[in-house]
Every structure is written in structure tokens, then in C-alpha cells.
Structure 1
Amino acid sequence: MFKRILIVCTGNICRSPVAEYLFRKRLGSRGIEVSSAGLSALVGSPMDATALQLLRDSGVDGALHRAHQLVPSMLFAADLALGMEKNHIEEMIKLAPEARGKVYLLGKWLDEGDIPDPYRKQRAAFEHVHEMIRRGVDSWMGYL
């Protein structure tokens, strides 16, 4: 059903790459391509050090990640696009109105709430967000 999943946040250095790498781990060899991008990406930047460490602590290596700017062609190519916040959904639809039917919140199957941006916050904020992302990824697994 879904062959290409795109995950979107603001800078593509904290939330969306964490979700991307967690999805990759969970999906294994199922043949589903997962990528991420940012609405205001810090293009070329590696993942935030705290987000990267939390991934490593859960057995996932995201060291190769580099931030990408979201462009319409990414939304057209994706079968499913997941945002972290309601405003990300709105921005994706503005960028590519044709993608409306495949754009959802990562937390759609949970409480439909936003996953807050931990950028420049303490480790506790990153831990909280990491857990929210993990739960969001887990909630999608039954639909993939």
C-alpha cells in the first residue's frame, strides 16, 4: 500500500529525522522507503546531538542524517506524508494542495496532538518528544 513515507518538521534536525530512523528500524526489510525534510530546514546540518544520542540509546544510528528542505516534488512522490504539528500539515498542503489526501499528523492514531519542538531545550524535553515520536511511529505500524 505505502511504498514511500515522508516525515516533516521544521528544521529537519530533531523530530522528523528521529521518526524517520525509528520507522526504518521498525519496518526493516519491508521495502518501504522513509525520508524526512523540514519546512525551514537547516540544510546539510546533522541531527541535533541530543536527538542523535537518544536514538543511539534505543539502538538506532542516525549519524548519517543531513537536513533537507521540503519541496513540492517530495510530497508528490510520497504515498504518505506525516507532520509533527497541525501547522506543518497546513504548510504542506499550501506547498502542494494535490497532496491533501495523504498528509496526516504523526499522532493521528493517538490523540491527534502536536509533537512539540525540543530544539534548544534541555534533555528532558528531548526525552519527552522522543517518547511521543516512538508512540506515534508504533501507532502507524498497523496501517503499513
Structure 2
Amino acid sequence: MKAKILMVCLGNICRSPLAEGILKSKLNPSHYNVASCGTSSYHINSKPDQRSIDIARQHGIDITDQRAAQFKVSDFTTYDHIYTMDSSNYENIIDLASNDHEKNKVKHILNELHPNSNLDVPDPYYGGEQGFEDVFQMLNKACDNIALKLKESD
């Protein structure tokens, strides 16, 4: 059975599409299903932000086929691991959980690099291109650790 991983940010057009694309590039698609969504409904069915598409492409990753979706309670059943990009996303998802099993699936993605620090991946939406590169690098390192842990647990 495929392990299912969900990446979550606010609008699902900047950070979580990058995290989805990066992690997919590190895992065998026949063993893992990686997706992303947002906690808000602002951008449902929209393509990722062009700057996310561009930075991913510069690193050899194509995220143009992704479309924004909103987190739903059924995602707790669908996904084995849920990674949030910041504390606000984390709290929004935890508030929807109905039990400890669901809550235990939700993690701050940067805790993969800095355990128990609950650091936020900065939202690059209002920043320049360097912000998107910085976010890419953070997520790339975190996804290296996630991919390693997933492969070890296979």
C-alpha cells in the first residue's frame, strides 16, 4: 500500500505546491502518493503561483499540473502524514482533528530540520524571487529528511 503524504499551506499556491513537487522528485511514485492543499479556499483550482512554478523549474521540477485544493476533514483518513508550512496552518488543521490519532499525523515541516522548534516556512507571496529560492532550499532540505525517514520505514 502506498504511503500518502499531504503538504499544507494557506492558499496552496506557493509553499505547499513546492513541497509537493520536491518530495515527489525524491520518492518512487509507485510507493508514495504526495499531494498538497491549503487551509483557505482563496485559490481553489488555481495553478501554483508563477514564481513557484519558475523556481521549481529552475531546479528541474515541474509543478504546472498541480491545482489548489482546500484541506477537508476526510484528509485525516486519506493521508498518513500531514506536513504544515507554519504555525497558523498547523493550528487550523489541529482544530479540525477529532482525536489524538488524527492530531499525531500533523507535523511542522521544518521540525524535520530543527526538531521541536516549530519554525515557520516564510510565505514568499509578497516577497521577491529570492524569497521563493530561500523557501525552495528550506523545503528541499526538509524533504530530504522526510524521504529518508519514509524509505527507512518501508
Provide TM-score, normalisation by structure 2. 0.88
The ranges of structure 1 where at least 4 consecutive aligned residues each deviate by more than 6 angstroms after the TM superposition are none
Q: How much has 1:95 moved relative to structure 2?
A: 1.3
Name stretches of at least 5 consecutive residues in structure 1 with no aligned partner.
Answer: none
**Which of 84, 90, 102 is the matching residue for 2:105?**
102
Q: Deviations over 1:15-46 (max 9, x none)?
A: 00110011111002451111110001410110
Kindly indicate whether the alpha-carbon contact (under 8 Å) linking 1:21 and 1:62 is maintained by their aligned counterparts in 2.
yes
Q: Distance in 1 between matches of 2:9 and 2:56?
A: 17
Alignment correspondent of 1:143: 149
**Paired residue for 1:5?**
5
Partner of 1:22: 22
Contact kept in structure 1, 2:40 and 2:70, CA below 8 Å: yes
Could you say which residue in structure 2 is the equivalent of 1:62? 63
Separation in 2, partners of 1:81, 1:125: 24
How far is 1:49 from its partner? 0.6
Distance 1:78 1:66 in 2: 18
Q: Tell me which amino acid in the other structure corresponds to 2:67.
A: R
Q: CA deviation at 1:76?
A: 2.1
Structure 2 regions of 5+ residues with no counterpart? none
The equivalent residue for 1:127 is 133
| Separation in 2, partners of 1:117, 1:10 | 9
CA RMSD, aligned part only? 1.5
Contact 1:2/1:79 (CA < 8 Å) preserved in 2?
no
State how far apart, in whole Å, the 2-side matches of 1:19 and 1:85 are. 13
Name the SS of the counterpart of 2:103 in structure 1.
Answer: helix
Counterpart in the other structure of 1:115: 121
Distance 1:55 1:83, change over 3 A: same
Paired residue secondary structure (1:107): helix
| Aligned residue in 1 for 2:35 | 35
- TM-score (ref. length: structure 1): 0.93
For 1:117, what is the secondary structure of its paired residue? coil
Partner SS for 1:72? coil
